[in-house]
Amino acid sequence: MKNKSTIVLLLFLISIILVAVFADALAPYDPYSSNLKNAFQPPSLTHLFGTDKLGRDLFSRVIYGVRISLAVSIFLILMISIVGSALGIVAGYYGKWVGSVIMRFSDILMSCPSMVLAIALAGIMGAGLRNAMIAIFVVTVSKYIRLARSLVLKIINEDYINSAKMAGTTQLNIIIRYILPNIIQTLIITASTDIGAIILELSALSFLGFGVTAPTPELGLMINEGRPYMLAYPWLVFCPGIAIAIIVTIFNLLSDKMREWR
């Protein structure tokens, strides 16, 4: 409570989460409802962020875009961290051929730049939210495999691990009771840091046409739709862009605070 900057960041994060959860109540208009007569309206009291080329309220679409970006990113980071950590723990604890197979798979994924590989996978599978999520999962999971394995290797030969083995403790109990509690903090901090990166990757894929498809109100897609008109109607790009910047900045700053607490 003495760290005022952390409290402010937490309040901002809670506000963003509340916006995502109560998007239906907060959005003044239907984000999918178009009215060509209201196209390209500038920001005003009627339309706080203006309207797009189809006359859709941009403020409502940004609110729903925050919901989609946040929900997808949190779901993805949970899946990535759980699957990647589980594979990394198995590779580090059991080693031998099991660890070799898992690590070779990880090496293959790590050999290509993540964004390039994500674009290639999304391009092969086709545009769509599900395919974008699969692409991001594939290119990110190797990071957690390698991280979890390295953490396990650091403690695998500690005395308390050897004592548990000598006492006849099962391998599963050793992993759950002794290994996992010692590596979970680092994994959580890494996951909190990567939420912002995943939001950016999802927005980038949508911006390039490999992610969410129209008319879904996704922030990266909204920037792409407003790009041809950005000089005449800058709010089409500015508003969703600022929303992405704020969300990513808050998550990154909070993850830095978590490292300090550690």
Helix, strand or coil, per DSSP, at residue 169: coil
d(CA 63, CA 18): 10
The reply to whether 93 falls in a domain is yes
What whole-number percentage of the chain has pLDDT above 90? 23
d(CA 77, CA 14): 18
Q: H or E segment at 145?
A: helix 129-155
For residues 33 and 114, which has the higher predicted lDDT (pLDDT)? 33
The reply to whether 69 falls in a domain is yes
Range of the domain at 56: 4-27+46-256
Local confidence band at 18 (pLDDT 50, 70, 90 cut-offs) = very high
Whether 235 has a pLDDT exceeding 60, the answer reads yes
The reply to whether 32 falls in a domain is no
Q: Phi/psi of residue 208, each to 5°?
A: -85, -5
The reply to whether 39 falls in a domain is no
Cα atoms in the Cβ-side hemisphere of radius 13 Å centred on 188: 12
Taking residues 208-223, report their average pLDDT: 87
The reply to whether 120 falls in a domain is yes
The reply to whether 111 falls in a domain is yes
Tell me how many degrees the CA angle 237-241-244 measures, rounded to the nearest 5: 155
pLDDT at 189: 85
CATH code for position 144 = 1.10.3720.10
Whether 262 has a pLDDT exceeding 60, the answer reads no
pLDDT in tens, 27-71: 899 999 888 888 889 999 988 898 998 989 999 999 999 999 999
pLDDT at 243: 92
Ordered DSSP codes for 80-110: HHHHHHHHHHHHHHH-HHHHHHHHHHHHHHH
pLDDT at 242: 93
pLDDT in tens, 55-112: 899 999 999 999 999 999 999 999 999 999 999 988 888 877 787 888 888 888 777 7
pLDDT in tens, 143-155: 899 999 898 888 8
The reply to whether 186 falls in a domain is yes
Number of domains in the chain: 1
Local confidence band at 2 (pLDDT 50, 70, 90 cut-offs) = low
The reply to whether 262 falls in a domain is no
pLDDT at 172: 83
pLDDT at 240: 92
> Residue written as tokens 């997808």?
72
